[in-house]
A = this chain, B = another copy of it.
């Protein structure tokens, strides 16, 4: 692995190896205090994301590295009058690893074409956020000994949730995972996710209520339902209580259930759940830091490498208006095959 753009790029063996290093770090943090000594991480956040930013920063600091960058492009002149390519060329001259958050889909992939050092995708619009998935899997593996064979409830907005889609895809690397997909019908998982689960022989069921399935779960992954997602506001009002986790609903859950949430929560988990030992969403954030430590000890220590000449594009081939190719016209027109479809290699949108 040279860059981490999409969790799907990792093989099961690469994940196992990453988790192995992560557990060494959790067990013996003092052994890693100088693991990235002399290494510098660029943290380029083209949109604010305090949690992810803090997690990456502290991860790098805890393995002995250092950090520079910007937390918001408004307070930076980088975003002005310069292409993403030129910024990456400059920054990858200063840094040993580049962490990038960008509102455009495919931005991290685009950056990786020009960077002399590894690029880590810290979120590219609604597209990918692979280190959230490493945080989630690390939490489950650490607290339950593994992912294989678990019954996982995913609750909330399953239609729009990037986190949830990534987690489902990632779990295809494991054996015998069962999914309980808990959402209002309006916000059920998209058809292509169902197709993905069928193709990968994954067991799943779709339900509209949380209470009935809670006793079956090893993991309950909560996400937020936003009022704006509903066509009919009354429908929102009728539904919202169903998807709020309360202490009472937890009564019938297993004693070793893990309640997870990518944070920030709003009110989808009642505050009185926090003191239940099954509520691990704050630990989950901390495990995310350890997972990033493992990732950085690998990527920040790779030798610098000239990315080589890159074809110069002229017109975007992708029609997705949020795709990075719409803004950076010099990008080469890369495509890839997803299943049987020809897709944009930056944002994964299907090409016509």
- Which A residues fall within an 8 A CB radius of B? 29-30, 33, 37-38, 40, 42, 48-51, 54-55, 57-58, 61-62, 64, 66-72, 74-78, 81-83, 85-86, 89-91, 93-95, 263-266, 271-272, 274-275, 282-283, 285-286, 289, 309-310, 312, 330
Q: What residue of chain B has the Cβ atom nearest to residue A289's Cβ?
A: B94
Set B50, B93, B282, B309: member contacting A89, Cβ < 8 A: B282
Which of B50, B64, B78, B95 makes the CB contact (< 8 A) with A50?
B78
Number of copies: 3
In addition to A61-B66, A93-B286, 7 A-B residue pairs with Cβ atoms within 8 Å of each other are A51-B90, A55-B94, A72-B75, A89-B274, A89-B282, A90-B282, A275-B309
Interface of A is mostly: mixed
For A93, list chain B residues within 8 Å (CB): 282-283, 285-286, 289
Contact A286 B75 (CB under 8 A): no
Contact among B50, B61, B74, B81 with A77 in the assembled complex (CB-CB below 8 Å)? B50
- Residue pair A90, B40 in contact (C-beta under 8 Å): no
Q: Contact check: which of B55, B68, B86, B271 meets A264 at CB < 8 Å?
A: B86
Q: Once bound together, how far apart are the Cα atoms of A105 and B41, in whole Å?
A: 33
Q: Shortest beta-carbon distance, A337 to chain B, in Å?
A: 28
B30 and A54 contacting across the interface, CB-CB below 8 Å: no
* B70/A50 in contact, CB under 8 A: yes
User: Which one of B62, B64, B90, B274 lies within 8 Å of A263 (CB-CB)?
Assistant: B90
CB neighbours (8 Å) of A265 from chain B are: 86
Whether A50 lies near B66 (C-beta < 8 A) is no
